[in-house]
Amino acid sequence: MLLTMYIDTITSPEAAWQQEALCAQTGADFFFPEPGSSVREAKRICGMCPIRAACLDHALSNDERFGVWGGLSEKERLELRRASR
């Protein structure tokens, strides 16, 4: 049982950046708002985050469809994907 608890707390190297993310310290409400709600506060927090680029790279690489990632909304990431084709 102790081994199981230890394994559950190990962070994969691919996700280690998430531990430094400011969003991890503020909660998901800002970053996954209700449809039509403002994402201004999430973008403000992202603007101060030291790992914003890694977050955006993750979102684009994993086709994250919801929420604010790397300072960009769903719509902005979609536009970025379309522009890069």
pLDDT exceeds cutoff 90 at 16: no
* Average pLDDT over the chain, rounded to an integer: 85
pLDDT exceeds cutoff 50 at 79: yes
Share of the chain above pLDDT 90, in %: 60
Give the pLDDT confidence score for residue 27 in this predicted structure.
82
Give the pLDDT confidence score for residue 12 in this predicted structure.
59
Rounded-to-integer distance, Cα 52 and Cα 44, Å: 11
Give the pLDDT confidence score for residue 13 in this predicted structure.
60
Binding residues: 23, 46, 49, 55
Binding residues for [4Fe-4S] cluster: 23, 46, 49, 55
pLDDT digits (tens, 9 = 90+) for 18-32: 888 999 888 888 899
- The whole-number average pLDDT for the span 36-56 is 95
Domain coordinates in residue numbering, the chain: 19-83
Give the pLDDT confidence score for residue 43 in this predicted structure.
96
